[in-house]
Amino acid sequence: MTEYTTVFGSLDDYAKGGVQIVDDDPKYYAFSNIFEVASQAAPYEKVAVGKNLEYVLEVIRAEGTSEWRATPHDEFALVMDGTVRIELVDPATELVDAGSGGSMTLEDRPEGAAMGAVTAQRGHMTMLPAGKAYRMHCDGVGVVLLQTIEGPDTVYRWADICQTF
């Protein structure tokens, strides 16, 4: 019976593919690599690697402890590398307009009940529920792919991260 090896990427070990152009512009494919983007990002910077109207995919370099953030809608954090602990708080008062998009930075831990925490490793997807607050922590360096909506802290640097020729 054939033995297979599943290849996942990591900050320390990834191989990048690419667009081989026949008759097109590589920029139309917005081709990037999550680990390469994270390797060049500041801790907890939210760098968009995908955008579809108002929706974005953000790469987050998890390193140390993040600020507290409040989200008006469900977000989903998929750990692509490392071990990331996510703490959740149920704010005593509404912190974000439910109609807004993307999460917003909080100055400190909000008043409210501790909901619990998740310790997630590669491949684990965690829901960051609407109306709640969260922060992340990673002892080393991790990578998170966040399914969310563009917000004031979404960073766009397509020309730096995407294949252009």
Partner 1 sequence: MTITEQAPNALGYSQFSVGGFTFSRDEYFVTVEWPTGNHQIAVDHWLRCVQRDVAWGFFYGIVNFDSVIGTMNHYGTVDMFAGRFNEAYRRAEVDYNETFGHEELLDCFKAMLSDWTNEGYDPFAAPLETGTAFGPSSGNNDDAVTRRRVVADRMVGVPGDEPLRSDESGFPVNRAFSDVEQAEPVIEAAPGYEGDVCSFNLFAYLSRSDVTWNPSVVSACKESLYCPTTEEFTLPVIHGNDRVEWFVQLSDEIQWDVEDRDTGAKRARVIMKAGDVAAMPADIRHTGYSPKRAMLLVWENGSPRIPEMIAKGEAPVHPVDF
Question: Which residues, 76 to 135, sit near partner 1 by CB under 8 A?
Answer: 76, 78, 80, 86, 88, 90, 113-127, 129, 132
Instruction: State which of residues 40, 43, 57, 153 lies at the interface with partner 1 (CB under 8 A).
Output: 57
Q: How far is the CB of 44 from partner 1 (least distance, A)?
A: 19
Q: How far is the CB of 105 from partner 1 (least distance, A)?
A: 19
82 neighbors 119 (Cβ within 8 angstroms): no
49 neighbors 121 (Cβ within 8 angstroms): no
Stated as kind and residue range, the H or E segment containing 108 is none
Secondary structure, 3-state, 44-90? CCEEEEEEECCEEEEEEEEEEECCCEECCCCEEEEEEECCEEEEEEE
> Taking CB under 8 A as the rule, does residue 14 contact partner 1?
yes
Closer residue to partner 1 (CB): 46 or 132: 132
Residue of 141, 30, 113, 129 lying closest to 75 (CA atoms) = 129
Residue of 39, 35, 116, 13 lying closest to 79 (CA atoms) = 35
Q: How far is the CB of 100 from partner 1 (least distance, A)?
A: 12
Closer residue to partner 1 (CB): 93 or 107: 93
Q: How far is the CB of 151 from partner 1 (least distance, A)?
A: 12
Whole-angstrom distance, CA of residue 161 vs CA of residue 100: 27
Q: How far is the CB of 52 from partner 1 (least distance, A)?
A: 4
Q: Which of residues 23-42 bind partner 1 (CB under 8 A)?
A: 23-24, 26-36
